[in-house]
Amino acid sequence: MVEEWRLLDTGVHDAFYNMALDEAMATARSKNLVPNTVRFFRWGPSAVSIGHFQSMEEEVDTAACDEGGVDYVRRITGGGAVYHDLEGELTYSMVINEDHRLVSQDIQKTYQTLCSALILGLDSLGIPAEFKPINDILVKGKKISGNAQTRRMGVVHQHGTILLEVDPALMFSLLKVPSEKIRDKLIKAVEERVTSINSCLGRRVGFEELKGALKEGFEKAFGIRLVPGQPIDFENSLAAKLRVEKYATRDWNFRR
């Protein structure tokens, strides 16, 4: 009997709800209320997320975000600032019990194991990708996916981004740059170091096709079957609470 995990496709939500539901899923998993879970989601409005230890004021041009209707939120996980474009990016998350065979005490090793699902998924689209420590997935040396993991309450919670389309100039219009003089240089560096699914394949890949490929990648890499499901009431109500009381608050987002 092949191991079954839950698959959630929660569609488009705002940044605060997206991060709140991720935390609610991890909590639900820790209480054994739900099975191990993979979730796909998108961000609408588009948003910038920053790592747990980053300073919102130093990393994000919040005035530019406000003007452009772009949300900004602090993640529960470490790592760097990410621009989540409504049309150009898919995010996944997963919650797995820490005692699962896929999880090692070694966090670096676990990144590699969990990222192998994305690599197989990209492979099935015809994109040869590889893992690059600490937490990146590259195609021919260019980054296509960044990932971040946390562990709490006996649960490994990893989320990450898969780029369908990339627009470095737009990204840097929302992030703080050390000086205007080097803005063009930074944009150029990202153009050279970051790629996307559409640019790898030379065609537009839709979200459904991408999710289908990734689902297959997760199933093959992990030796599991993903069964489509819904968030449970516990997750929905905890997410609604965390959205208002944590992720949408200035206190959380500007705490560092």
Partner 1 sequence: MGKATYKVKGGKLIKIQLRERADKIQEIKITGDFFLHPEELIEELEEALVGKPLKEQDLAESIRRLMQERGATLLGASPEDLAKCILMAGGEGG
- Quick note: the x/- pattern for partner 1 over 72-91, rule CB under 8 A, is ----xxxxxx----------
- Note whether 229 binds partner 1 by CB under 8 A: no
The residue assigned the tokens 């990202």 is: 190
| Contacting range for partner 1; rule: CB under 8 A; set: 41-49, 96-104, 148-156, 180-188 | 148-156
- Note whether 176 binds partner 1 by CB under 8 A: no
Question: Residues touching partner 1: how many (CB under 8 A)?
Answer: 22
List Cα–Cα distances, 248 to 54, 73, 90, 92, 255, in angstroms.
Answer: 17, 7, 21, 21, 12
Alpha carbons 85 and 70: distance in angstroms, whole number: 9
Burial of 240 (0-12, 13-18, 19+ CB in 10 A): middle
Residues 148, 164, 166, 187: which binds partner 1 (CB under 8 A)?
148
- Note whether 30 binds partner 1 by CB under 8 A: no
- Note whether 217 binds partner 1 by CB under 8 A: no
**CB-based contacts of 82, cutoff 8 Å, min separation 6:** 48, 49, 50, 146, 161
**AA letter at 90:** L
- Note whether 137 binds partner 1 by CB under 8 A: no
Contact residues toward partner 1 (CB under 8 A) are: 51-55, 58, 76-81, 107-108, 134-135, 148-152, 256
